[in-house]
Amino acid sequence: MFKNRFRTIFFFIPFIAILIVFYSFLGNEVKTSLKPYVITGIILSFLYILSKRGKHAYTENPSSFNVLSPSNVYKIPSKANEEADEEEDVITFKDVAGHKEVKKDLKFLIDFMKNPEKYRKMGARMPKGVIFYGPPGTGKTLLAKAIAGEAKVPFFSVSGSDFVEKYVGVGAKRVRELFKKAREKAPCIIFIDEIDAVGRQRGQTENSEVDQTINALLTELDGFNSSEGIVVIAATNRVDMLDSALTRPGRFDRHIAIPLPEQEERLELLKLHSKNKKLGADVSLEKLAKMTIGFSGADLENLLNESAILAVSREKEEITMEEIDEALFKIILKGNKKPNDKNSEDYKLIAYHEAGHALCAKLLTNKSIPKVTIIGSTSGAGGVTFMTPKDGLHTKEDLINEIKISYAGRAAEYLYTKNINRVTTGAAQDIKQATNYIIKMINEFGMNDEIGMIDLSYFKSSGEREVLREAIKLSKQLYEETVELLRKNYDILRRIAERLIEKETILEDELDSLIFNSYAIA
């Protein structure tokens, strides 16, 4: 680096000398008038020369650009003495909670790397590339490390952004160096995190450096065969954004979804992350697993960590449910905003609205409802958290019940105010959801008695009028049935709403007690 700077200075000295000699022969008046231009010219020339030489600095001294060195980003417990030193850092499937099905799918890859001859005899080839895709925080990186740990092979880990540079050719060179190092240590695993940073579809960006890097990656994938024992695992949140040349067979041809954990897996993760934490007697990890629908493994770890911080700040010796509840709401609601006056009419309307959804869902379906809350967030006034069964076929009755649950918030507001003109705008999203179900029942699923099993989209404007007419008819009918259901169970509705006003949040056990211990259920 210093050598390049001295070269630049020595190159610039003759230019300055010529300029000084020429300037000395000029008259005083001319010197005075040209002085600002001369100074400006010297500065601009100096900057130009520096920029030109800086552009070629990479070819003269690549190390000055911090070229990626794979030896700094992998661990190789290959020798006996190194295995002992690295033993505590080696990750296996035992360290990965949940993902039982994913682990089963990945066992063939581990066996392939351990016993390649067994597969070669059958004419099978090892996949060159595997893509892990799914929401952030689901454990894609951890699973890749666990594969390397189970197979006892070196693990190279880089980020897609490491290959993106403003200097053309740097990313491609880094790709080639990475694969060169991997070949020296084969069999091994190369893990590229956030591959969408470099593997986006070509044509979506004007950056020729990115295109060159993708081309280099494709060349390397085509350049080695499965007998070398190199497996490239890439992780992304958006597999649909990747270039089709990357995802075709023979390259990243195996795509494995890493989904958010289900209830049992969340319980495993909570047990894992709570090992080093003192939990109070009132903390039930089973209930917490029910309440944390949609949480990733990283979210659950963060939840327990935030709870621990709250417990320390309150000078408690253990984490209680109070800290966990507070941390949970902060994470889910991304900043609470509680109404100031519990006696305000808006507050009561919100309570009746959410109570309507919860009561209707419990009376009509077997849905689990981990919690109901009226604590407002930046995205809404409150909400009911449903835990629905896995996706599958839905009956006409299922869809009708979903529509009634959507209408139950507005119906509860009407029953509380006894005036249709005093209902609120809080049902906007509910109405949109109910309308979607109704249109699909009529137009797609053939579940309307008047129209029958006809797809009216073929009839354009006349078909649209028929759909609208039947949709209005079905909507009115189901809303009236929802109002009648809640009217018959109004005492229970009122008790749920009053408990929400008092406590702001109620969990499933308390909700079930309020509903099913009553005698007025219709």
What is the model's pLDDT at position 84?
31
pLDDT at 437 over 90: yes
Query: Which pLDDT tens digit goes with each residue over 193-212?
Result: 888 877 665 555 555 656 77
Short-list 306, 258, 292, CA closest to 136: 258
Average pLDDT over residues 251-265: 86
Q: Residue 414: pLDDT band by 50, 70, 90 thresholds?
A: very high
Average pLDDT over residues 281-298: 86
Q: Residue 412: pLDDT band by 50, 70, 90 thresholds?
A: very high
Short-list 367, 353, 299, 361, CA closest to 330: 299
Which range in 68-82, 439-453, 483-497 is most confidently predicted, on average pLDDT? 483-497
Q: 127, 228 in Cβ contact below 8 A?
A: no
Average pLDDT over residues 318-324: 90
Query: Which pLDDT tens digit goes with each residue over 113-171?
Result: 888 888 888 887 777 789 999 888 889 999 999 999 998 989 988 888 777 765 566 77
Q: 501, 348 in Cβ contact below 8 A?
A: yes
Average pLDDT over residues 361-376: 83
Average pLDDT over residues 97-114: 86
The one catalytic residue in 165, 354, 413, 508 is: 354
CA distance 137 to 471: 41
What is the model's pLDDT at position 254?
85
What is the model's pLDDT at position 435?
95
| Cα three-residue angle 264-286-379, rounded to 5 degrees | 85
Half-sphere exposure of 265 (CA within 13 A, CB side): 21
The number of residues in the chain equals 522
Joined together, the tokens standing for residue 515 give: 């509903």
Task: List the single range of 1-10, 255-264, 512-521 with lowest mean pLDDT.
Answer: 1-10
pLDDT at 228 over 90: no
Query: Which pLDDT tens digit goes with each residue over 450-482?
Result: 888 887 777 767 678 888 899 999 999 999 999
Reply yes or no on whether 354 is catalytic: yes
